[in-house]
Structure 1
Amino acid sequence: MAIRRTPLLMAAAVLALGGCGSGSGGGGKAPAEVRTAAKPATPVTPVTLPKPDHVVVVLFENKEDKQVHGSSTAPYFNALAARGATFTNSTGVTHPSQPNYLALFSGSTQGVSGDDCLSAGKFAGPDLGGELIAAGKTFAGYSESMPSDGFTACTGKGPGGDYASKHNPWRDFSDVPAADNRTFAAFPQDFSQLPTVSFVVPNMCDDMHDCGVATGDAWLKAGLGAYADWAPAHNSLLVVTFDEDDFTEANVIPTIIVGAGVKPGPTAQHIDHYAMLRTLEDLYGLPHAGASAQAAPITGIWTTGS
């Protein structure tokens, strides 16, 4: 049964010529670019949140909420959703893909409006990876099918499929060491050895960009199912989200959080990539990058704290 979604009132729609399809398998659409409402000028006061030992954030591609939530093609995703918090009003901040990844990682689209081949280390920060490292914590990004650890080229073919740097924002920041830009093959089998925060990006098929929902759902179970089972008893979280929907103005995306201290059930709190970044920062008492300073962190889903 599909979960009801709260309608989203968008503040503006700006025409964009590009789409995620400027890479492989995008279908050549040229939709309107959609941005969230302007943020208030006053920074949001921090709230008390839990402090997990590990957070893993996995990003899929280009699916509207209703294409996944309640769909028979996503049985594992929906089984996870039943175990955690399900966001019925979660949105991307724009179209196409790359600016959304940058927004989630750094609180800014960094002036990027397409799916571009950026030079490695182009931006100085601030960003989530750099904030964690400066605070004495750890970060790593794991990209499936990236040819090698520390890979800096814009595209490549590794084990299992195609890799594209447009889905790898940590590569773009000079304050994140090359050693933290890892292949998914390097994802620890002993989950206690994971960094404080990890981002995981499947390849261009398994992330549902070039292939269907069923493919991504099967990958999620095979690739992170063991971690999802481990996390609740080990003070850890799994965040499953998407960069954007399939180019609608509403841009409503599937998002769930599963793990220790999370109340199961749907929540209508509106979140976007800036709110998710703000939440990750507040979990560890980090400073706030870019628009995350004006975003409200996720509340109401925790068994302790806010």
Structure 2
Amino acid sequence: YDRIVIVVMENQDFNDVADDSYYPTIAENHNGVLLTNFYALTHPSQPNYIGMISGSTGGVILDFDSNIERKSVVDLLDAKGISWKTYQESYPGGCSTESSVDTYRRKHNPFISFKNIASNGTRCANIVPATQLDEDIENNSVPQFVFYTPDMNNDGHDTSLQYSSDWMKSWLEPRVGKPGFNNNTLFILTWDENKTWVIKPNIVYTVLFGPAVNRTVSTDDTKYNHYSILKSVEENWDLGNLGEGDVDAT
């Protein structure tokens, strides 16, 4: 793939998403494969986000601000000259390290928690307000690696599954067909963690889709987790690995 776009939603059980009126149509209508045995790493939110881009929760066990001194996928991408950007809804920009601004939450923006990103002006300039995405699509300047975080309403955290579903439809459908966004692109839609912590395993709805996907099956029951996303990114561009949970991920 020339581009990988990751979108992370919040706090829903697999079966609830599977029963939604819109989410299952993404795989059906956009050449997708549903991963039926995909696990989040832990609870609560933040360590899952940290793990997605670094291969380890690294001692991050809660949602408080973290300042991490180790490598992430950004180090691998930069070493290979692969362009990247994270689009964060309601993010104020300017390399802000604020915990909460309007409906933006730092805990859902893992990039700002790594010191070698937050303290590097060139790198943290790639953490941008999500409003930048449409301009980048029109200018054909969407980077190769994209991590998109909806705000606390649109991701369903402070609202509902139905609210997030309606938002996703309004966000995805007008953009997914645009060449500046979908050309040889793998889209990955996942959730950070499930909703029912105590009585259900931490399985989350995850779908791979896009016109470039080699879709030979509609579902895949292989056991995956958030480290698998990182490994897919590494293997796609022959980045090597971070020596963490990405090494043995499927």
Give the TM-score, by structure 1 length: 0.73
Instruction: Please state how far the C-alpha of 1:145 moved relative to its aligned partner.
Output: 0.9
Mapping for residues 37-48 of structure 1, pairs under 5 Å? none
Check if 1:262 corresponds to 2:214.
yes
Check if 1:139 corresponds to 2:84.
yes
- Does the residue aligned with 2:125 lie in a helix, a strand or coil? helix
Q: Is the 8 A contact 1:60 1:202 kept in 2?
A: yes
Opposite residue 238 of structure 2, the aligned amino acid is G
Match of 1:167 among 95, 103, 108: 108
- Structure 1 residues 104 and 195 mapped into 2: Cα distance closer, same or farther (>3 Å)? same
Check if 1:287 corresponds to 2:240.
yes
- Choose 1 or 2 for highest CA Rg: 1
Alpha-carbon distance in 2 for matches of 1:113, 1:143? 22
Look up the match of 1:198: 146
Gaps of 5+ in 1: 1-51, 297-306
Alpha-carbon distance in 2 for matches of 1:79, 1:146? 29
Check if 1:178 corresponds to 2:127.
no
Q: Is the 8 A contact 1:58 1:200 kept in 2?
A: yes
- Does the residue aligned with 1:166 lie in a helix, a strand or coil? helix
Q: Is the 8 A contact 1:129 1:140 kept in 2?
A: no
Q: Deviations over 1:117-155 (max 9, x none)?
A: 22xxx2233211221111111111111011224221111
Alpha-carbon distance in 1 for matches of 2:139, 2:222? 30
Instruction: Please state how far the C-alpha of 1:222 moved relative to its aligned partner.
Output: 2.1
- Does the residue aligned with 1:198 lie in a helix, a strand or coil? strand
Residues paired across the two proteins, number: 235
Q: Is the 8 A contact 1:85 1:266 kept in 2?
A: yes
Alpha-carbon distance in 1 for matches of 2:126, 2:115? 11
Look up the match of 2:202: 251
Q: Deviations over 1:40-80 (max 9, x none)?
A: xxxxxxxxxxxx111110000000111111323xx1x2211
Opposite residue 112 of structure 1, the aligned amino acid is V
Alpha-carbon distance in 1 for matches of 2:137, 2:143? 12
Aligned residues with identical type, % of pairs: 28
- Does the residue aligned with 2:224 lie in a helix, a strand or coil? coil
Look up the match of 1:90: 38
- Does the residue aligned with 1:112 lie in a helix, a strand or coil? coil
Alpha-carbon distance in 2 for matches of 1:253, 1:149? 33
Gaps of 5+ in 2: 118-122
Alpha-carbon distance in 1 for matches of 2:64, 2:139? 33
Opposite residue 278 of structure 1, the aligned amino acid is K
Give the TM-score, by structure 2 length: 0.88
Instruction: Please state how far the C-alpha of 1:279 moved relative to its aligned partner.
Output: 0.9
- How much is the aligned-residue C-alpha RMSD, in angstroms? 1.7
Alpha-carbon distance in 2 for matches of 1:123, 1:112? 9
Instruction: Please state how far the C-alpha of 1:191 moved relative to its aligned partner.
Output: 7.1
Look up the match of 1:114: 62
Alpha-carbon distance in 1 for matches of 2:24, 2:128? 28
Instruction: Please state how far the C-alpha of 1:214 moved relative to its aligned partner.
Output: 1.6
Instruction: Please state how far the C-alpha of 1:268 moved relative to its aligned partner.
Output: 0.3
Once superposed, which parts of structure 1, at least 4 consecutive aligned residues long, lie more than 6 Å away? none
Look up the match of 2:184: 235
Q: Is the 8 A contact 2:155 2:164 kept in 1?
A: yes
